[in-house]
Structure 1
Amino acid sequence: MLLMSYDRGAYLVLRSFVMRTHRSKHQREAFKRASAEQLEPVFEALDTLGNTKWRVNKKVLSIVDKIWANGGRLADLVDWDDVSYLCSFHLRNN
């Protein structure tokens, strides 16, 4: 399994938690205390969700494509500058 612990795995560039805890200190602490065996069912459930087929809303996609083609910077979408920074950061550090 790619996921190693509650705060490692899944993404190569950006550190990410396995699941959102909505800034709940109690939930984060529970994840930290849990053993790998206790977290395995959580990881398996998240894998199942991740493997669920989904459909793209083509109307929304066409709007996002237009925004992206113009450089982003609208509605908190990632813009070209952010993407180039992340790519260069990844190349420098790997």
Structure 2
Amino acid sequence: MMYAGKIAETGARRDIFYRPQHPYTKGLLHSVPRLDLEGADLVPIDGTPPDLFSPPEGCPFTARCSYAMEVCSRVYPAVAEVSAGHRVCCWLQDERAKRALLTT
């Protein structure tokens, strides 16, 4: 899964579709029409994509992410391995960020 020209999440189809970890992947999957649910509303991802001629300093999804933290806008996250072959670039996978979220 890519967002604004950067890899957000990689993994097997089963990982991406059934165990997404990046907020963009989750949002994208929720915005797909469901043929098995009649009358189900689409859930759009709020905001607009970043200007790629002047990309943001940190994670490019920060402005649209409901989980964004201060660090997201300053530093692009490192790759975290969630499980064998399933990787995500998101501060939510960083233990320090998880602890900070629990204390707020």
- TM-score, with structure 2 as normaliser: 0.25
Structure with the largest fraction of helix: 1
Structure with greater strand share of residues: 2
For the pair shown, the structure with the greater C-alpha radius of gyration is: 1
Q: What's the TM-score, normalizing by structure 1?
A: 0.27
